[in-house]
Amino acid sequence: MKVSSFDFTRRHLSTALIALAGAIVLGAPEVRAQPASDKPLRIIVSAPAGGGSDIVARILGDGLQKELRQTVVVDPKPGAGGAIAVNDLMHSPQDGSTVLVGISGMVSEVPHILKLKIDMAKEIKPLAEFARFGLVLVGHPSVPARTVPELVSYVKANPGKISYASYSAGTVAHVAGLKLNQAAGLDMTHVGYKGSAPGLTDVMGGHVPLMFDGMSTALPMIKANKLKAFAVTLPERSPALPNVPTFRELGYPGIETVVWIGLWVTPSMPADAQARLRQATLKVMEQKAVRDRLIEYGFGVGQPRTPEELVNSLQADFEKNGEMLRAINFKPE
């Protein structure tokens, strides 16, 4: 199936998905001079409560509440690869009072994975990259290997018997395993799950020996010694896992993968509101306490790239992901 590239500025929303989710209001804003707005800032999140994007949204929400001097409401709207959240944003007031926090993959990956009637990139634009994370290759403690070289030897010694999990077929986690197979001459079999939680549960239960997963979700299990970590896909080691090497330093630069979580808006939002929100987000990113909280949860601080740079990066990633998935004849669900 040929997947067309995105037009980030010209397409229009044709169909919508609707879901209900309870809003969770952050603590009362600190008492300061006149607030920027009497209307609360609503942050729609494309992930369930407790998920990576939700954690990031709450960290960002705390900062924006103080920076903008207005109440912030975090409202998870999970489902359909982010399409439900995007639809909610599109049907919300376009006055700067509603924004979306979600991962870059909902634009660069999801259109390749799911057959949706809504184009994720039509009328939303990235305003700022707030946090980023890589994948980590984890294994059950019983896997007889401590390092990637030892793991490669183990897989080669058991041809056709070793599998690895990902949080969803067609994602960068799925592709990371394919890249490792190709680079190291392995034949690991992929097992796709519908989310990190069921995949991690099966790995910890010994049903699947290995998994590529996002660092933020795997980190608690690694720290609890329920999983062993072999390597991360980041360009450099993560402060959260300083003793875990990168694939690059182990001689596998092609497995390098970075996903970011950012603030998204509609192009129809007034330019002054966009500028105000972006500036406030960048200021929040500079705060040491915020950076420390992100690291605590396994995230890195985002880069201050412009919206135009983010759009270009998304389009490049979209095309690259499509090329890799077409090479394995992957079909969207």
Domain map (residue ranges) of the chain: 24-133+260-327, 134-255
Residue 12 predicted with pLDDT over 80:
no
Cβ(18)–Cβ(118) under 8 Å?
Answer: no
CA neighbor of 302 nearest in space, from 130, 169, 110, 105: 130
* Stated pTM of the model: 0.79
Give the C-alpha separation, 59 to 74, whole Å. 10
Q: What is the pLDDT of residue 10?
A: 37
* Mean pLDDT of all residues in 9-25: 37
Which H or E element spans position 231?
strand 228-232
Q: Which CATH class is domain 134-255?
A: alpha beta
18: its two tokens: 């609707």
Instruction: Indicate the fold that domain 24-133+260-327 takes in CATH.
Output: D-Maltodextrin-Binding Protein; domain 2 (3.40.190)
CB atoms under 10 Å from CB of 105, counted, come to: 26
pLDDT bucket at 152, cuts 50 / 70 / 90: very high
* 3-state DSSP assignment of residue 243: coil
Give tens-digit pLDDT for 268-287: 999 999 999 999 999 999 99
Cβ(46)–Cβ(106) under 8 Å?
Answer: yes
Cα separations in angstroms, 82 against 16, 38, 48, 111, 117: 11, 29, 10, 10, 12
Q: What is the pLDDT of residue 96?
A: 95
Cβ(140)–Cβ(203) under 8 Å?
Answer: yes
Q: What is the pLDDT of residue 4?
A: 43
Give tens-digit pLDDT for 51-79: 889 999 999 999 999 999 999 999 999 88
Give the C-alpha separation, 220 to 241, whole Å. 11
Highest mean predicted confidence (pLDDT) among 32-36, 196-200, 287-291: 287-291
Q: What is the pLDDT of residue 146?
A: 96
Tokens 């040491």 locate to: 288
Q: What is the pLDDT of residue 35?
A: 53
Mean pLDDT check: name the lowest of 8-17, 135-144, 220-229, 295-304: 8-17
Highest mean predicted confidence (pLDDT) among 51-60, 120-129, 278-287, 319-328: 278-287
CA neighbor of 206 nearest in space, from 228, 238, 187, 224: 228
Residue 21 predicted with pLDDT over 90:
no
What φ, ψ does residue 270 adopt, rounded to 5°?
-50, 140
Residue 142 predicted with pLDDT over 80:
yes
| Mean pLDDT across the chain | 88
Cα separations in angstroms, 74 against 27, 53, 60, 94: 11, 11, 10, 17
Give tens-digit pLDDT for 78-103: 888 888 999 999 999 999 999 999 99
Residue 13 predicted with pLDDT over 80:
no
Q: What is the pLDDT of residue 37?
A: 65
